[in-house]
């Protein structure tokens, strides 16, 4: 069964939004889950977090950044074309309940998985304070969507081109220092951002969750490629996560594992770019 691409747009430089016709996935999807897709029968399997889903329309939205060979290939596809595989929903859904005030922190493309959580926490009756950030204003994504799904929205850019000149964690600390009674902080973004954010929030009496993006192959717990250490024990991101208690995650090990295949990934991209220049793609 092939999966039709219904919509495709570049929402920021090298960041793309894709809406897929996948009724079965949409029907079962919940905030915090992900899918694994394959472009064609010879393609690699890559995990992408579900950025949105519409049960009635049977659609699932994913947002991805051009990084490796497969995401570059994916970016070249257009509406009307098809994906070979689109498997999901995978992973354990986010633990959404009425808690009071929840801070959602999204960095870069980490704003994409934060969006369905903002909607779900708001629907559950929480006050949702969202903080989104990027290197500059041109790289910000889903600003209007996050604003509509949140009680309050704050923006940070590294270069000060929009919102707070600095990091999302600066704003998070200001809110925690303000005396606002916060029940939970959810941080989603690059591993180093989640590590730093966890360190900033740890002194406060607040639950801290992170959504981990690790190496994956099958997405069902069989290969063990996505293993992470949480509270001194081995966990599989694909079935035990992707959401974990941030205070217990070994971020150093996570980042080291993510860097394991960087050399091979670089070679694959270089070969693909060369083939594109030669007109082979």
Supply the DSSP string of 45-108, one letter for each residue. Answer: PEEEEEEEEETTTTEEEEEEE--SHHHHHHHT--TT-EESEEEEEESPPP-----SEEEEEEEG
Among 161, 185, 159, 157, which Cα is nearest to 172's? 185
Q: Binding site annotation covers 82? A: no
Token look-up 């929480």 returns: 126
Q: Binding site annotation covers 276? A: no
Neighbours of 104 (CB within 10 A): 29
Among 156, 159, 160, which Cα is nearest to 146's? 156
Among 142, 134, 136, 140, which Cα is nearest to 113's? 142
Q: Binding site annotation covers 33? A: no
Token look-up 């998070």 returns: 172
The b/e string for 121-144 (b: 16+ C-beta within 10 A; e otherwise) is bbeeebbbbbbbbbeeeebbbbbe
- 233 vs 23: CA distance, rounded Å: 36
Q: Binding site annotation covers 64? A: yes
| Dihedral of alpha carbons 48, 53, 59, 63, sign | negative
Q: Binding site annotation covers 278? A: no
- 48 vs 238: CA distance, rounded Å: 11
Q: What is the DSSP letter of 246?
A: G
Q: Which residues are annotated as a binding site for [2Fe-2S] cluster?
A: 223, 226, 238
Q: Which residues are annotated as a binding site?
A: 63-65, 223, 226, 238
Q: Which residues are annotated as a binding site for FAD?
A: 63-65
């Amino acid at each position: 069964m092939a999966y039709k691409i219904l919509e495709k747009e570049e929402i920021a430089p090298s960041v793309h939004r894709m809406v897929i016709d996948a009724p079965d996935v949409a029907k079962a999807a919940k905030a915090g889950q992900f899918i694994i897709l394959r472009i064609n029968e010879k393609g690699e399997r890559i995990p992408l977090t579900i950025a949105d889903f519409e049960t009635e329309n049977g659609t699932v939205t994913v947002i991805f950044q051009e990084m490796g060979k497969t995401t570059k290939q994916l970016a070249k596809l257009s509406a009307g074309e098809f994906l070979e595989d689109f498997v999901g929903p995978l992973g354990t859904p986010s633990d959404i309940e009425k808690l009071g005030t929840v801070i959602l922190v999204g960095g870069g493309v980490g704003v994409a998985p934060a969006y369905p959580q903002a909607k779900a926490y708001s629907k559950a009756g929480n006050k949702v304070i969202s903080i989104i950030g990027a290197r500059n204003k041109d790289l910000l994504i889903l600003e209007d969507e996050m604003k509509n799904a949140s009680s309050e929205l704050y923006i940070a850019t590294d270069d000060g081109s929009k919102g707070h000149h600095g990091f999302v964690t600066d704003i998070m600390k200001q809110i925690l220092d303000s005396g606002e009674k916060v029940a939970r902080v959810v941080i989603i973004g690059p591993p180093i951002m989640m590590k730093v954010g966890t360190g900033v929030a740890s002194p406060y009496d607040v639950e801290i969750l992170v959504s981990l993006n690790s190496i994956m192959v099958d997405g069902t717990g069989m290969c063990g490629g996505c293993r992470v250490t949480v509270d001194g024990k081995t966990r599989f991101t694909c079935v035990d996560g992707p959401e974990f208690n941030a205070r217990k995650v070994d971020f150093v090990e996570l980042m080291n594992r993510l860097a394991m295949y960087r050399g091979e990934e670089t070679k694959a991209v270089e070969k693909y770019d060369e083939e594109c220049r030669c007109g082979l793609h």
